[in-house]
Structures are given as C-alpha cells and as structure tokens.
Structure 1
Amino acid sequence: MKTHWPLAVLVSLTTALMPAAGFAQNVNVTRSILPDQPYTLIYPEPMVASGGAGEPVTVNHPNAPLQCTMVVVPVEDTAWSAETALAELGDSEVNAAWGETLPGFALGAKATTAYQDATALLYDGASTDSPMGVPLTLVHTETVTNGRGYVLDCMFATEVAAQARPIVDFIIANFATRSDANCCVGAEVMPDEPVSQ
C-alpha cells in the first residue's frame, strides 16, 4: 500500500466515510482496455483509480484510510475453484505470508463469495501493526476464469471497519472478470448494512 495515513485523517475518518457510504447512484467504473485481461471495477465516489493497462489497478479513498488493489495474474491451474481453494486454505500459511508486511496478522473469516460473474475465494484478517502505523484489516478475494487469475485486495484501518467494510463488500460484489459488466449489485443495502457474502 502506498498511502500513508496521518492521525488527523484517522480522527476525521467517520465524517469522511459517511458521505462515501451514501453513494447508490454515484459510482465510478474502470474497465480494462486489454482484450486479454478483461475486468470491470465499480467503486463509489469520491474514490479514484490509478494504474491499469496491464498494471495493477489501485482505488483509493482520498480522505480516508481505505484502498483496494486489483491485479490480473497468470495461472497454471486452470481447473482451480474457489471451493477447493477454501477447503485447502492453510491458516498458518496465510498468517505467515501476510505477517511479513502486516505484523501480527491473524486470519478471520473464510468463505466463497460472488463477483458479478464468478465465484471467488474470500478471507479477511487483521494486523496488530502496519507500515502505516495503525492496525489494518485486509479483505482478500481471488478467482480463476477463462485461464486468468484475478486478485482483489482491500485494506482499511481496523478502527473504521464498521464504515469501510460495507464499501469493500460493494466493490467485491460488483467486480467482474469481463469488461462489459454493469452497476450495481447490492446498492439497495448501502449504507445501512453490508452486502451479504
């Protein structure tokens, strides 16, 4: 993660995120321009995207510690399934891998979830520290479709999970592994409750 979140940002976070949660009609859409790496990423205003065209796409909230990054990755196992990945997910391996960048990372919920057009592995977890100087919560999703792997990771300050998680759930539910997807899945539940997993 590239963003550094000063204490002043964290103090004013609730105010900053509340307008973002009421975004039912105010969304931004980023679509792939590469035919061999299709995707549609839908996220609320005032979040902004950078990257793309073969590079990771990063979506940041300009006034709050909330960031999502999506990357298309090569895969060898084209028979991969979210259900099998969930059954084989090793807690200690996940904790160790994320603990290198998020000290004290501990895995939380594990499940499968729906993108607009695919089933993804989902897990979350929280750290006790981070390079930003605050504990972070990670929500990780991944899938394989048409021989391509898709990874969508969102991170936010753990202390603002109640405000940030519904936005993350909306982004995940509206992600698609094709370039022609439309909005919006789960908009009717914002901002009062998170999108169901």
Structure 2
Amino acid sequence: MAVQYGYIRVSSAEQNEARQVIAMREAGLDGNHIYMDKQSGKDFDRPQYQRLVRRLRPGDLLCVQSIDRLGRDYEEVREQWRVLTKEKRVNIRVLDMPLLDTRQGRDLMDTFIADLVLQILSFVAQSERESIKKRQAEGIAAAKARGVKFGRPPSPLPENFRDVHRDWRAKKVTLRQAAERCAMPEGTFYAKAVRLERENTI
C-alpha cells in the first residue's frame, strides 16, 4: 500500500518550522510520516532526508511545501527529482505549486510542463541563494571599509601583563610561567605578546 510522506527543512536550529508543519497537516499527513532536517539545503547529505529516501517505495508520495525546501542547488535538485521519480518510482507533490505534482497526468505535455517549471524554480532558488551570499559579502566588505570590527571584542589584558612580558623577554621566566601568571593559555599569551610587539604598544 502506498504511503504518503512529508519532508520539512529549515536552514538552522533557530528557524521555525511551524508553517511547513501546518501545510503538511492540511495536506493530510500525520506526524509519524514527516521527516525534518535543520540544516542548509546546499546538498542532500542530510540525515533525516537520507533516512526518508531509504524508506520510500514505488508508488509512495513525497510532499514538500516548496521546491527550495527540497534543496537549493539547481543541478542537485534536478538530479534528486530524477532519482526519486525515475529510479525509485516515487510521486512528488510540491504543495505551493500544483503544477509540480507527478500524480497529475502522465502524458507528454504534462511531463514537459512539470519539468520546465521544476527547472525554472530550481534555478530561481539557486540564484536567490547566490544573490544573498553576494549581498552578505558586499555588506561585510563595506562595513570593514567603515572600520566595523567583526567577532567578539578582545578581552582586556591582565594588569600584570606588561611586567610579566618584560620578565619573559628577559628570560627570567618561561613561557609557561608567564602564561600562568597572567591566567591565560600559553598560546594566547604568546599571540598577544607578539601582536603588541608588532604594534609597538608594549
């Protein structure tokens, strides 16, 4: 007997999957047949997706809310669609795009239209992803040009750092002893010492 499955994907643990869950429920799926990954859609190396694919049998139906929930890489989405529909002989239903429902019609025109829509949507999803990455890179570059610092601010130096540094360079103490006196790892002490020496601030 054919089984209906749902697949949900959000890009990170912080994102909310509620909208996709509601869409699956409205499509008639129960929670036991819904699989969810919380990670990027750049490829299909996702644990729950792979588990779902192993369970699929010919005639089963796989539902996703939108094509970009399946994946975001244009070529990989097309290849995965081919594997599911041709090799595993599974039906796919994209809930927000009725044209992408392989149960509807089997004639040449229906197949052609579905393939065309899939290619367009997959291309748009990938283009959007690349555009977002480009805008992020441009925004970071512009911020850096304005002097914006990224990452955590450096922690303040211990009050005794300069005295300990002087003793260390005078070989009165070892690196380990110097680091212990400043209550920091050896690597951190050394890196801060070298940076401050380079900046001539110590």
Q: Please give the TM-score of this superposition, normalised by the length of structure 2.
A: 0.24
Greater share of residues in helix: 2
The structure whose Rg is larger is 2
- RCO higher in structure (CA 8 A, sep ≥6): 1
TM-score when scaled to structure 1? 0.24
